[in-house]
A = this chain, B = another copy of it.
Amino acid sequence: MQLPVFADVVAASTRLEGLAVRTPLLWSPALDEAVGGRVLIKAECLQRTGSFKFRGAYNALSLIPEADRAKGVVAFSSGNHAQGVAEAARLLGMKAIIVMPADAPAIKAAGVKARGAELVTYDRARESREAIAERIRSETGATLIPSFDHFGVIAGQGTCGLEIAQQLEEMGEAADQLVCCVGGGGLIAGINLALTEKAPGIAVCGAEPEGFDDHARSLISGRRESNTRGAGSLQDALLSLAPGELTFAINQPRLKGVGVVSDGEAMQAVAFAWQHLKLVIEPGGACALAAVLSGKIVAKGKTTIVVATGGNVDAALFAKAIGA
């Protein structure tokens, strides 16, 4: 498989212009005081579809050869990639079939259907989404759009990192480190491609849910380690089985560490974002913020960029997080 490089991120950026939201890099005095450092939030929850996933999905769909477009696309996802693919397909006039776990947040399933995609659900514990997607692919000729381990997806997510570098320059600031949550590692791989080129002084760290710390363990062992389960965390966006082949090839030499975050810490970060940042962040999307607020990644005395990756959370869970 071909690894994307920085030029592919730049090309993706051109494709996404006027379609993806250039999300803000936000400063919050309350957050600075809470951690005793300077923190800037890259608010990808404000992205089209409510998560960064639109970037990679649209870029990947744009790369499908003209001859294959009429056959549509198929994707499996816990919900944010699903919505990104559905939205990209809608904009490009393509048919999309989305394979999604039955226990995915209702708001994510609704977002997929509202965008005109066909939804196929499966049991996360007993069925193989890969097998279901492969059957659909072979029957329809649709192009499979993986949620992270894909040339076009990684390059598209990299536009988030490109914007961060540009925004720091516009603000006349430099950052010591960046923290981003890690599921399969697609976003952080894209960010790494951008920052290695544009801001190599920034140390890039991951954040993972407890029980799904495959990247943390893989960085230590030097090979791609798997998680023992595929469900069972409120941070539903981050439950990938193992690092991707492409993503790990990019991330392994670049990641400086990974903070491992409990669901309780993630929920506290959701509440902090609600009360102080006035942002709606889903538990998985708040993983990096939780790593910083909990001190698992030290932000004291530093300038830290925290990527808030998504905001698609069901009302009941959100109400629970904010103590309503």
- List residues of A whose CB falls within 8 A of some B CB: 21, 24, 26-30, 43, 45-46, 48, 50, 107, 274-281, 311, 315-316, 318-319, 322-324
A315's partner among B276, B279, B324 (CB-CB below 8 A) is B324
How many copies make up the complex? 2
* Nearest Cβ on chain B to A276's Cβ, whole angstroms: 8
Given contacts A50-B278, A316-B324, 13 further A-B contacts (CB under 8 A): A21-B27, A21-B29, A24-B24, A28-B46, A28-B48, A30-B48, A43-B278, A46-B278, A274-B315, A278-B311, A315-B319, A318-B319, A319-B324
Cβ A278 vs Cβ B280 within 8 A: yes
* Nearest Cβ on chain B to A88's Cβ, whole angstroms: 12
Complex contacts, A30 vs chain B, CB 8 Å: 48
* Nearest Cβ on chain B to A74's Cβ, whole angstroms: 24
Cβ B278 vs Cβ A107 within 8 A: no
Complex contacts, A43 vs chain B, CB 8 Å: 278
A278's partner among B27, B45, B322 (CB-CB below 8 A) is B45
* Nearest Cβ on chain B to A166's Cβ, whole angstroms: 12
Complex contacts, A29 vs chain B, CB 8 Å: 21, 48
With most chain B CB atoms within 10 A of its CB, the pick from A46, A107, A318 is: A46
The complex places the Cα of A24 from the Cα of B107 at a distance, in Å, of 26
The complex places the Cα of A319 from the Cα of B271 at a distance, in Å, of 13
Q: Which residue of chain B has the shortest Cβ distance to A314 in the bound complex?
A: B324
The complex places the Cα of A50 from the Cα of B48 at a distance, in Å, of 24
Given contacts A278-B311, A315-B322, contact A46 B26 (CB under 8 A): yes
